[in-house]
Chains A and B, each alone.
Chain A
Amino acid sequence: MSAVLLGALVCVAPLRGAVAESSDGKARAFLLSLNTRAIEQFSDPSADPAVREQRFRALINEAFDLQTIGRFVLGVHWREGRSTAEERAAFLEAFEDMIVRRFLPLFREYVAKDFVVGKSRRDRRNKQLVFVDSTIGRQKGDPLNLEWRVRERDGRFQILDVVAEGVSLAITLRQEYGPVVKRVGSVGRLVELMREKVGKDAFSRKLDAGD
């Protein structure tokens, strides 16, 4: 009798574990497939730079929840009264530009083939959040530790933040742009500054260098 109960327990336990594991396994799979797709895009030598940027932009929009990240970065200035709807829309557009141009060159620096996905864990309070560890190989120096903050919603995954060696992209930008808006007076002015930066080819300098 006790053997049967024990047997039943043994059967149930791994099943529960498997349920938890498979959700986090999906998050890891999501990241790995993104990496594969990014590599494919980059190793296609035929497309011209403009087309490549379009494709990359589409990939970024799909992979990252830019709306949420943008709102998080703008923080308190997102509210009614602190910024107009036009300013917010303009910000999100400039923000997307910045992220696309920022990440594009980085992919050339890092050897995307050396992308290894590690452990994942769920946030205790917000069950939709999964944190996935990874390392990415570098041409010079030790591999970089990256932690991806991914949100699962209706079975779909999107990245909310990337944390490199403890430094979070979202928090860094939030802590940089917040004081800037205070200083220059409006979100509109911040957007102008962002556009200047993007326009100056601040990020895309590596776009045309090399393959």
Chain B
Amino acid sequence: MRLEAQMRMNRWIGMALLALVLMVGGVGQVVADSHDGAPSGDDLWLEVYGQDIEEIDEPKDPLEVPNRLIFAFNRALDIFVIRPVAVTYDFWVPDKVRESVGNFLRNLSTPMILANDLLQGEGERAGITASRFVINSTAGILGLFDVAEDMGYPRHSEDFGQTLGSYGMGEGIYVVLPLLGPSSARDGVGKVVDIFLDPVTYLAPQNVALGRTVADGVQLRSENIEILDELERDSIDFYARIRSLYRQNRENEIRNGEPASDLPAPGLTSTEPRKQLSGLY
């Protein structure tokens, strides 16, 4: 069957990408380690940051030139196409309906989140995710209503990029993807793997999956119109700002909001594995 052959090819591509990124990530890690660890230039780190020191003094961005080009392209696309659609959607569609659309789309991603929870050995979070899926799909009418949240099962997001991060994989180099925006070598591959972890990929025809991705994009954009406008308005170098925000946010997501306060010595990055897989539950 053509579908099987297609899926097999996708799998090989995915694995090749994974291998590539593991190599790049590995190189990135070596580069990070060979830096002497102490942030260069000033001695204010200890005063301002205490021991919450991470390897963030000079953001490594070897692909800066192509990244800036793609960033500019994405911005143009956003100004002329995406943002207007999101603003229109925001303007015409009532709050409650948009909320339901958001809930529905998020519910569809729940199996992928569950898979990543399990891969990270987060038993409790996996339980919450599983409950959310069942409750919202039934009592929440196919996910339109986030009933589970009110019942004490708050949502959280996970993806394979975070899973890799929790295993201790460094983010590798910073990459701006066309249309998809900021990412890293590790997270880019994470996105590919998540496609495989998502049942919608297998259950629905290709057009549906594409339509859903577009809907995801518009929904997300409409939820963030003001905050992105503000970020852009007062930044002198929007590209550098987004890069910084992206990386800090990713670190925070990987740690699930926990403070990085257990570093034994300055200069160590926070890429030590958060847990041993043997301590699963």
Contact = CB atoms under 8 A, between A and B. Distances in A.
B33 interface: no
B2 interface: no
A129 B59 contact: no
- Chain B interface residue number, banded: 35 or more
Contacts of A72: 42, 44, 48
B48 A124 contact: no
Contacts of B259: 121, 131, 147
B253 interface: yes
B114 to A, nearest CB: 21
A172 B234 contact: no
Contacts of A123: 50-52, 261
A175 B240 contact: yes
B257 A145 contact: yes
B249 interface: yes
Contact of B261 (A76, A78, A121, A178): A121
Interface string B244-281: 11001101110101010100001000000000000000
Contacts of A131: 259
Interface stretch (A19-27, A53-61, A158-166): A158-166
B243 interface: yes
A98 interface: yes
Interface in A160-211: 160-161, 165-168, 170-172, 175-180, 183, 190, 193-194, 197, 202-203
Given A166-B251, A190-B236, A129 B50 contact: yes
Contacts of A193: 236
A177 B59 CA distance: 12
Contacts of A102: 234
Contacts of A179: 237, 240
A202 B234 contact: yes
Contacts of B249: 165-167
Contact of A168 (B40, B59, B240, B248): B248
Given A79-B41, A166-B248, A175-B56, A126 B51 contact: yes
Interface of B: 40-42, 44, 46-52, 56-59, 233-237, 240-241, 243-245, 248-249, 251-253, 255, 257, 259, 261, 266
| 6 smallest beta-carbon distances between A and B, as pairs | A166-B252, A76-B41, A123-B50, A175-B244, A125-B51, A126-B50
